[in-house]
Amino acid sequence: MQKQTKIDEIDAKILRTLLKESRTSFTEIAKDCKISVGAVRMRYKRLWKEGVINGEVMLVNPHSLGYKYISDLGITTAVENEKEVIKFLTHKPYISQMV
């Protein structure tokens, strides 16, 4: 079981800001929270270290790249066919990601 992290109002404000726009500068956050840039940096590092923040995500708008349809597809196959299916799908230009 993961330890629960306690956050205060400033931590919550930092998180809300970053959830709205993850590229917000520490300087801008510091002004908004009325604390120093160093304090924002320290809090950010602590939240990262404690697992409250565990990544930064960039989302690309596929439609802006000319894709008309976006789809998630689940495939179930026998274990012995898995490598063959992966090889087949890897060579398709319209498949951008496999997990």
pLDDT at 62: 82
pLDDT at 35: 98
pTM over 0.85: no
Quick: pLDDT tens for 29-57: 999 999 999 999 999 999 999 999 998 87
Instruction: Transcribe 16-64 into DSSP letters.
Output: HHHHH-TT--HHHHHHHHTS-HHHHHHHHHHHHHTTSS--------GGG
The second-level CATH assignment, the architecture, of 9-49 is: Orthogonal Bundle (1.10)
Quick: pLDDT tens for 62-84: 889 888 878 888 889 999 999 99
More confident residue, 58 or 25: 25
